[in-house]
Structure 1
Amino acid sequence: MKILVVDDDSNILELVSIQLTQAGYSVQKASNGFEALEIIDDEYPDLAVVDVMMPGMDGYTLTKKIRTETDIPVLLLTAKGELDDKEKGFLAGSDDYVVKPFEPKELQFRIKAILRRYDKAVDVFIQAGPLKINRQSYEVSVGNKVLLLPLKEFELLSVLASRPNIVFTREILLERVWGYDYEGDEQTLNVHVKRVRGKLEKLTDEVKIVTVRGVGYKLEVESL
């Protein structure tokens, strides 16, 4: 999992980065909101840890931009603990709020909780419009029609269906389905998408895999 840490305090930035790296995360660092948005465009992290008090673009503004333009969850990190500050953070679109000083384990627990909420592909049952996925029986169904897919095709569809109408980059899909150490090329992904797309077309015309040129793929659900 990639985590972007954004803080203008270099000491805090380094401390949090070390803690999260030791916890097994791949960490990207930004010292301000503008730098963070550039990293998001290039790398698309799984979660952003954002400091509230930053010059130029504060954490609330950055959070709003992240949540408006992406589906990346945000955890706000700040020295402020007043109720109205927390409210402002949640209204900006943050998923959680941690007050400095904090214990490293608390930050890690909160990050794990957020990632669990967002990664619906690990749920036993996933539904996207009329499409239902059972991760126990590995069955994909629409009404009375049941589709059995090879494992990688099943995992690919599960990830896409976990967030209907949201675009997944090719990099994210390769990491989620084939793993971080996958050394193949994107052609493998393209082939699997083509196969799943063809099989879905036989099940329903309400759900389809759409190519977003230059970015990746999304599962488009007409009924949502």
Structure 2
Amino acid sequence: MSEATQEPLKILIADDEANIRRILETRLAMQGHAVAAAKDGAEALELFRSVEPDVVVLDVMMPELDGFAVLERIRAQSEVPIILLTALGDVADRITGLQLGADDYMVKPFSPKELEARIRCVLRRASQSQGNSGGGAISSNVIALGDLSVDFNRRQAFRAGERIRLTGMEFNLLELLISRAGEPINRLDMLEKVWGYRPGKASDSRVVDVHISRLRAKLETDPENPELIMTARGQGYMFQRLQSGVQEPSISAA
């Protein structure tokens, strides 16, 4: 997506630290984005409803409502990309946030430049999802595995005809796995192809693990004993090998 030819992107920043809000507002506005900032969880929800942002940057520790409560309420109605801000060392918070539906996280203290890069990544992926979706006729690029079907033209998944709600990142991850069905993919490759960055430390790969867990919970008949998304021990994850004759989707470059 070319930011120069598009309408300004709407970004919601929710953090109770005034200096963080001020720095991010200034830097993102200088890049041409429309930025709304909230000092607590309640205000964040109000702004979310009125602004309808393209991406949300959400701190965990906030008054009124914490980031987890805000995240849950947003996810109940929207698949908008969400980046969570967590305190250094709070690994449990990061995992909880990802399980609740966050697309990515940043650890405080963080580099504003790195956060901007993460925002660009999730927005690019969301833009690709929207650009490839549509209301036209169902494409032949559909796979069916039992009562589960995945439509790569509409970027939707169905179980027994009922749509399964997937976030943009979840579908991107599923698309990557299916495109290389039968082949183990390591976590580093998944981070680079789906999230758009190489991890700075090994713990960053938890983003992949939690998203895999979320996908299994939504797609597998028995998530504890997965038959679609398998763990390739010591290698990563692998989607089950597709039957002969099933068309596999192509993946665009990150």
| Deviations, residues 57-101 of structure 1 (Å, cap 9, x unaligned) | 111111111111222211111223333221111012111100111
Partner of 2:65: 57
Letter in 2 for 1:30: A
Aligned ranges for residues 6-85 of structure 1 at < 5 Å?
A: 6-85=14-93
Instruction: Report the aligned-residue RMSD.
Output: 3.0
Equivalent position to 1:106, from 111, 114, 120 = 114
Instruction: Return the letter of the residue paired with 1:49.
Output: V
Provide closer, same or farther for how the CA distance between residues 45 and 122 of structure 1 changes in structure 2, counting only shifts above 3 A: closer
Alpha-carbon distance in 2 for matches of 1:48, 1:163: 23
CA distance in 2, matches of 1:91, 1:57: 18
The question of whether the paired residues in 1 share the 8 Å contact of 2:88 and 2:109 is answered with no
Q: 1:35 to 1:130 in 2, by over 3 A?
A: same
Deviations, residues 159-214 of structure 1 (Å, cap 9, x unaligned): xx678989xxxxxxxxxxxxxxxxxxxxxxxxxxxxxxxxxxxxxxxxxxxxxxxx
Deviation at 1:115, TM superposition (A): 0.9
- How far apart are residue 128 of structure 1 and its match? 5.9
Specify which structure has the higher proportion of strand. 1
Report the counterpart of residue 174 of structure 1 in structure 2.
Answer: none
- CA shift, 1:127, in A, is 6.5
Q: Partners in 2 of 1:129 and 1:90 — Cα distance?
A: 32
Alpha-carbon distance change, 46 to 126 in structure 1, aligned in 2, over 3 angstroms: closer
Aligned residue pair count: 141
> Which runs of no fewer than 5 residues in structure 2 stay unpaired?
1-8, 142-153, 158-162, 166-254
Q: Report sequence identity in percent.
A: 40
1:97 equivalent among 105, 112, 125: 105
- State the secondary structure of the residue aligned to 1:29: strand
Aligned CA distance change for structure 1 residues 122 and 93 (closer, same or farther; 3 Å): closer
1:131 aligns with 2:138: yes
**Relative to structure 1, is the Cα distance of residues 51 and 121 closer, same or farther in structure 2, using a 3 angstrom cutoff?**
closer
8 Å contact kept, 2:86–2:94: no
Structure 2: how far apart are the matches of 1:100 and 1:26? Answer: 23
| Distance in structure 1 (CA, Å) of the matches to 2:29 and 2:156 | 27
